[in-house]
Amino acid sequence: MRDFEGELAQRKQAGLYRTRRQISGPQQPVLTSDGKPLLSFCSNDYLGLANHPANIEALRNALPETGLGGASSHLICGHHDAHHQLEQRLARFTGRSSALFFSTGYMANMGVISALAGRGDTIFSDRLNHASIIDGCILSRAKVRRYAHGDMAELEAMLAQTSGHKLVVTDGVFSMDGDVARLKELARVCRTHDALLVVDDAHGIGVLGPQGRGSVAEQGMSEEDVPVLIGTLGKAVGTSGAFVAGSSVLIDYLVQKARTYIYTTAMPPAIATATCASIDLIERDDERRQHLRELVAVFREQASAMGYELMPSETPIQPIMVGNNWSALELSRALEERGFLVIAIRPPTVPAGEARLRVTLSAAHSKSDLDRLLRALSECRHLLAEPDIAV
Ligand SMILES: *Cc1c(COP(=O)(O)O)cnc(C)c1O
């Protein structure tokens, strides 16, 4: 018998033990945890839409029409008008011909990657890609080659050595670093070597690009450059689920082949209706994105002036590099004592020796929320060893 208790004890010793914090009330900057308020800087609700009255009202209004449960898979009798309308809305939003609504981003990546590549094919994957991409690659049974983060030269060399069907997959915005993939170059390399490019823009949709259309649109690219675009709806969009957008042939193919689409119960249709309302808000509301960009700029300027080591990120994901697991936990704990919730991210979510505090900013934060965080960070600065960069 495997020694589960022993393995848990080992994790605790290595500073890798994970616990779940219980919160009550809606997702918003001030969370209630154990009855006490904490100002959170770790949510992916980048636009503050998870608790937006217009989306909640859309959900409430939809319920008498749609009922609650999904009741069946899409291919039996679960494919509701509301799902169909969301798919059309997402296609329009992303400038693609068609879209397919999945229950989660994890399932979208598992289903899409394993549908588009199989035994005998090769998948090329950035080393910092999200866990759901890694798992999708494993599920596909294709050969997987991982290239160093953002290393186009290495990717191109690997592609040149490989024959057969090739798929390149990347995060649009890297979830733990916050940097944006070099999509123009990726698209060029893929075109040259006849590889299919898949971009998972979980953290770009809603946040980046004109009207929040994501990192692909921000870099001026279309369906021709990025034929397979994945996005999630539980982060900036503030509801739940995910989508794949592309040509109608691609979507038709996925309906036949994506097992995580076929063999699961349809999402409650009212969620799809609320998601349409949220997309409307996202398209209209440039002010949220503008405010968010301003918060990001202030955070970067002031935190780096304190001598914190930041990552080359212009997105709302602004990790503070720490290195050691225990130091990351200690900094997180010190911030919590001051009323802030910023979670330490440790291996295997990030590479060993690269533990960090993943600070995320949201349009729902006020300038004074950020000022308070910065003051606390300044008080806690002594907890970290001197970083490499000059103070
Ligand atoms: C969060 C995330 C996912 C998973 O999406 P869920 O809808 O939360 O399952 C997929 N890819 C990336 C890059 C992510 O950050």
Q: Whose CA is nearest to atom 10 of ligand 1?
A: 105
Q: What is the mean pLDDT of residues 171-179?
A: 97
Q: Whose CA is nearest to atom 3 of ligand 1?
A: 105
- For residue 52, give both structure tokens: 């937006």
CA of 278 to the centre of ligand 1 (A): 18
Question: Is residue 203 annotated as part of the catalytic site, yes or no?
Answer: yes
Give 351's DSSP letter: -
- Per-residue pLDDT tens digits for 117-127: 999 999 999 99
pLDDT of residue 385: 75
CA of 297 to the centre of ligand 1 (A): 25
- Measuring from each residue's beta carbon to the nearest atom of ligand 1, which residues come in under 6 Å? 104-106, 109, 130, 132, 171, 175, 200, 202-203, 232, 234, 242
- Per-residue pLDDT tens digits for 236-284: 999 999 999 999 999 999 999 999 999 999 999 999 999 999 999 999 9
* pLDDT, averaged across the chain: 96
Tell me the fold of 53-284: Aspartate Aminotransferase; domain 2 (3.40.640)
CB pairs under 8 A, 24+ apart, for 66-71?
66/268, 66/269, 66/270, 66/273, 67/269, 67/270, 68/268, 68/270, 69/265, 69/268, 70/265, 70/266, 70/267, 70/268, 70/269, 71/265, 71/266
Determine the Cα–Cα distance for residues 313 and 249; give it in Å rounded to an integer.
Answer: 35
pLDDT of residue 387: 53
- For residue 299, give both structure tokens: 């955070």
For residue 15, name the pLDDT band (cuts at 50, 70, 90): confident
Determine the Cα–Cα distance for residues 288 and 296; give it in Å rounded to an integer.
Answer: 12
Q: What is the mean pLDDT of residues 95-110?
A: 98
Q: Which atom of ligand 1 is nearest to the CA of 107?
A: 9
Query: In terms of Cα–Cα distance, which of 74, 27, 75, 17 is closest to 51?
Result: 27
CB 225 within 8 A of CB 196: no
CB 58 within 8 A of CB 274: yes
Pocket test for ligand 1, best of 113, 174, 175, 237 (most atoms within 8 A of CB): 175
Question: Is residue 33 annotated as part of the catalytic site, yes or no?
Answer: no
Question: Is residue 327 annotated as part of the catalytic site, yes or no?
Answer: no
User: Is the pLDDT score of 391 beyond 50?
Assistant: no
CA of 383 to the centre of ligand 1 (A): 32
Q: What is the mean pLDDT of residues 359-380?
A: 98
Domain ranges, ordered by start, for the chain: 20-47+286-383, 53-284
For residue 386, name the pLDDT band (cuts at 50, 70, 90): low
Q: Which atom of ligand 1 is nearest to the CA of 240?
A: 7
- For residue 359, give both structure tokens: 């600070």
Q: Whose CA is nearest to atom 6 of ligand 1?
A: 105
CB 222 within 8 A of CB 187: no
Q: What is the mean pLDDT of residues 63-88?
A: 98
Phi, then psi, of 358 in degrees rounded to 5: -90, 95
Query: Computed over its alpha carbons, how large is the radius of gyration of the chain?
Result: 21
Those residues whose C-beta lies under 8 Å from the C-beta of residue 320, and which sit 6 or more positions away, are 303, 308, 309, 310, 331, 356, 357, 359, 377
Q: Whose CA is nearest to atom 8 of ligand 1?
A: 105
Architecture per CATH, domain 20-47+286-383, reads as Alpha-Beta Complex (3.90)
CB 207 within 8 A of CB 48: no
Q: What is the mean pLDDT of residues 23-50?
A: 96
CA of 59 to the centre of ligand 1 (A): 23
User: Is the pLDDT score of 390 beyond 90?
Assistant: no
Spot the catalytic one: 79, 130, 203, 291. 203
- For residue 112, give both structure tokens: 């899409």
- Per-residue pLDDT tens digits for 273-321: 999 999 999 999 999 999 999 999 999 999 999 999 999 999 999 999 9
CA of 112 to the centre of ligand 1 (A): 13
pLDDT of residue 379: 97
pLDDT of residue 98: 98
pLDDT of residue 154: 98
Q: What is the mean pLDDT of residues 14-32?
A: 94
Q: Find where tokens 């009207």 sit.
A: 211
Q: What is the mean pLDDT of residues 78-97?
A: 98
Determine the Cα–Cα distance for residues 241 and 231; give it in Å rounded to an integer.
Answer: 9
- Per-residue pLDDT tens digits for 186-219: 999 999 999 999 999 999 999 999 999 999 999 9
